[in-house]
Structure 1
Amino acid sequence: MQARKTIIRLFTTFLQFDSDKAIGWVTDGRLRRNIVNSQVYSSEIENSENFWVTYWYKQWQDNPKSLAKEHLLAYLQETCYWVASKTVKNIYSPQYTVSDCFQMMIARTDKVLKGFKPEMGFGLKNYGSAIFSSELKELLRQEQEIDICTNWRLLRKLTQKRLTESLENIGMNSKIIERYILAWKCYQMLYTPTQRTGTRKLQKPTLQTWEAIAELYNNQRLKQLPTNTPECSPEIIEKWMVASAKAVRAYFYPSHISLNVPHGNSEASRELIDDLPGDEEKSPISQIVIQEEKLAREVQQDRIKSVLLTALEELDEESRKIIQLYYGAELSQQQIAKKLEMKQYNISRRLSKSREVLLYKLAAYCKESLHISLNPPVLDYISTLMKEWLKLKFNPPTSEMEN
């Protein structure tokens, strides 16, 4: 299946799966009408991909509920596909399909958009690829771990932050969450498993343990919760813990529904994608300003690439070889050590040092030439994009999708 070529297709079509195979593209009629109407006022630059990324991104920033987000969602379809395909092929077991991973990432598009900084001069696809890859690996790791734990082991492995997020995700209000958190803390304090540390098959606490947990909770509530908070029985505490475990599983192991799944009973059934929220966008405003910003960003991209290429060339030959094998051939540090007949810890040190050098050069350029303040979040952002640039340089994606 050929990759999308035209601007209209890039920003209006969504990948369609049959089982685990990508079989083609489906067009969203509203998005097509929207971009066609917009192009009437921008014919001289209608074929500029970067222009439309910039335009829709600005529209999304002004109105997150607008159709702009769906245009960007369409644009990132191929990025999600390639990350999902590579992850399933190279890292994880067959239980994870490409379509499953694809839907997991699409559900996290907001994180990509919120973290993206177009003024830094990097493209949305490159940034999206780095974030999607990181998010997917972490999500699959969490899902695999959560899936094989009992509720009681899962509750002992949790952090307060994760439990709070999970309870908020199911719509629980803050006052009730406070009670659940206190009960969970009491559970962690008093339930000391007799099995060996690290077992995932932790058994349910005994009645005596639940009674002790309830007693501790009722004492602590007087100090930590509002004065009108009622006492809780051991049975209620147990129900709360079961509900907490279910909330965590639902939060980290959600069911993923394709946007292209039809709903309704007739042959003319609509798809879920037809009901995405948003109003028709107005025609582009301030076209000249946007075009100038696009040109300035392209200049920045060229200069940043030049900085990275120069920094890469300044590394010694062995360090460049390690980077090429790590990012291009996607070999592990152990595999590189065997190939180069070196110790693994030396490979790790050389790789870390080389990345530090590249990051230092790039960060210095951003500070001096782009006048960007180098706080920790910005450095993390620059580091993420630098690693993605290395992947693209040494292992560029193919131009066509496989069936």
Structure 2
Amino acid sequence: MQPRQNIIEIFSTFVQFDGDRFSHWAIESRLHRSIKSCLSHTPKETSEIFWVLYWYKFWQVSETKLLAKQHLAAYLQEPCYWTSQKTATSFVSTQYKLSDCFQIAIAQVDRVLKGFNPEQGNTLKNYAGIIFGSAIRETLRQRREVDICTDWGLLRKISQKRLQESLQNAGLSSDTIVNYVLAWNCFKTLYVPTKASNSRQLSRPDHETWEAIAQAYNSQSPQQVNPQTLEKWLLSIAKAARKYLYPTPNSLNVSKGGDDSWELLDNLPGTEQQSLIHQLVTQEEEQTRNSQKADINKLLVEAIAQLELQVQQILQLYYAQQLNQDTIAKQLDMKQYTVSRRLTKARETLLRSLANWSQDTLHIAVTSDLLTSMSNVMEEWLHNYYSVSPH
């Protein structure tokens, strides 16, 4: 799969499959116009992180949820694809392919957005990958169980909690659900398979068992029903359970109502959001900078604490008391070149911690130029850190 190259593509295109292989990136014209319009108002904002947080804030505003969700769903296509590929590969015995796993995962966008908290330091991509993987694994396990069970086997294996959720999902009334649950409880109590029976491939109960189930139900309910009605109810329960446990993922771009020419994405709200952008730009930049500064400060303080005590003492003398290496060597009764080597080693250790943090958190490729820049920033930080108070 070819990665997307720019902000417009990242927030307006969707994976298209050819069979079970990636085919191409499909452009959604309305989202394309939306993000292009936003970028025209803020041409300097080319950071992926900025636009993720921007649309996430949009999603939290009810009147713009749909537009924001569409942009974030487009953004999450790549982590969804790679997570689906990895998970599908691990389920080698399953009949479900990469494209099936992708549809299962991308249907979890709402769950991802509801659970994501940018203040916890995780990225949306990383968090989504966790949710996508969990959803695929859980669904495949459920689907395998649902696929290989007969209706009667499924009814014996399902829990009451899942059964009630299935019936609620089917839109049944509370009175109907009460009746169905009672019927199911009578069925489970009285239809007890033998140990030799395959619990998944249970056959239909015999006539005597149906009569006993009906008698048990009628003794607990004012509504008297016959075995045929109870069988019909239980088959309806099994159907609802399969649909609930084995849902068909809905596309984010589906037709609405009876007019096939009108799609969900046609109802996007206006995309000229200049005022909100300008409100957020300064706020987001400041919040991001402050958050990153706090993270870097914590990272380097912890890295210093992991150094040998003598190295920490050298840093203290060099940066806080501003002593030169010769003076430090005399004070600590060691050679000047030993002080120099330990200073260099300490800087390298701190720089390595900072570089790893940049790669893991900001997903920045560390180049020689960037290392030089980081080294300068770190040197400035060390001077400021030791000048504030004694350490």
**What amino acid does structure 1 have at the position aligned with 2:52?**
V
Aligned residues with identical type, % of pairs: 45
Q: CA deviation at 1:196?
A: 2.9
Change (3 A) 1:309 1:171: farther
Alpha-carbon spacing, 1:69–1:148, altered in 2? closer, same or farther (3 Å): same
Query: Structure 1 residues 217 and 295, CA, compared in 2 at 3 Å: closer, same or farther?
Result: farther
**Alignment correspondent of 2:235:** 242
Match of 1:179 in 2: 179
Match of 1:255 among 235, 248, 254: 248
SS in 1 for 2:24: strand
TM-score by length of 1: 0.68
**1:257-336 counterparts in 2 under 5 A?**
274-275=265-266, 277-281=267-271, 282-283=273-274, 284-287=277-280, 288-299=282-293
Deviations, residues 213-246 of structure 1 (Å, cap 9, x unaligned): 2222222235xxxxxxx32221111111111111
Matched residue count: 305
Q: Does 1:54 align with 2:45?
A: no
Measured at CA, do residues 140 and 72 of structure 1 come closer, stay the same or move farther in structure 2, by a change above 3 Å?
same
Q: Which amino acid aligns with 1:41?
A: H
Paired letter, 2:227:
P
RMSD: 3.3
Cα drift, residue 167 of structure 1 = 1.5
In structure 1, what residue type is equivalent to 2:288?
K
* Conserved 8 A contact 2:103-2:249: yes
- Alignment partners' CA distance in 1, 2:306 and 2:283: 34
Return the offset for 1:290: 2.2
After superposition, give the CA deviation of every residue in 1:227-269 in whole Å (9 maximum; x if it has no partner).
xxx3222111111111111111111222346567999xxxxx9
CA distance in 1, matches of 2:240, 2:298: 44
**Residues 4-403 of structure 1 correspond to what in structure 2 (within 5 A)?**
4-44=4-44, 46-63=45-62, 65-93=65-93, 95-196=95-196, 199-222=199-222, 230-256=223-249, 274-275=265-266, 277-281=267-271, 282-283=273-274, 284-287=277-280, 288-299=282-293
**C-alpha distance in 2, partners of 1:311/1:244?**
61
Worse-superposed segment, 146-155 or 162-171: 162-171
Does structure 2 retain, via aligned residues, the 8 Å contact 1:195–1:202?
no
Instruction: State the Cα distance separating 1:65 from its structure 2 match.
Output: 3.9
Q: Tell me if structure 1 keeps the 8 A contact 2:7–2:48.
A: yes
Quote the residue 1:345 is aligned against: none
- Partners of 1:309 and 1:240 lie apart in 2 by 65
**Residue 372 of structure 2: aligned partner:** none
Question: Match of 2:248, SS?
Answer: coil
Shift of 1:199: 2.5
In structure 1, the gaps of 5 or more residues are 223-229, 264-268, 314-388, 397-403
- Asked whether the equivalents of residues 154 and 238 of structure 2 are also in contact (C-alpha less than 8 Å), the reply is yes
Conservation of the 8 A alpha-carbon contact between 2:193 and 2:199: no
Equivalent-residue separation in structure 2 for 1:30 and 1:213 (angstroms): 57
TM-score normalised by structure 2 residue count: 0.70
How far, CA to CA, are the matches of 1:62 and 1:296 in structure 2?
Answer: 24
CA shift, 1:88, in A, is: 1.6
CA shift digits 1:31-78 (9 cap, x unpaired): 11111222233222x211111111111111112742100011001000
Separation in 1, partners of 2:7, 2:306:
34
Q: Does the CA-based 8 Å contact 1:121-1:298 persist in structure 2?
A: no
Contact 2:58 2:65 in 1 (8 A): no
* CA–CA distance in structure 1, aligned partners of residues 234 and 224 of structure 2: 16
Determine which structure has more spread, i.e. the larger CA radius of gyration.
Answer: 2
* Match in the other structure for 2:346: none
**What stretches of structure 2 of length at least 5 have no aligned partner?**
308-355, 364-391
Whole-angstrom CA distance in 1 between matches of 2:156 and 2:302: 45
Q: Whose relative contact order is higher, 1 or 2, with alpha carbons under 8 Å and at least 6 apart?
A: 1
1:147 deviation in Å?
0.5
Tell me if structure 2 keeps the 8 A contact 1:83–1:132. yes
In structure 1, how many angstroms separate the alpha carbons of the residues matched to 2:221 and 2:297?
A: 59
TM-aligned CA distance change 1:4 to 1:146, over 3 Å: same
Q: Compared with structure 1, are the counterparts of its residues 71 and 208 closer, same or farther at alpha carbon in structure 2 (3 Å cutoff)?
A: same
Cα offsets for 1:121-150 (capped at 9, x unmatched): 110000000111111111101101110011
The residue identity in structure 2 corresponding to 1:289 is: Q
Task: Give the distance between the partners of 1:308 and 1:197, measured in 2 at CA.
Answer: 61
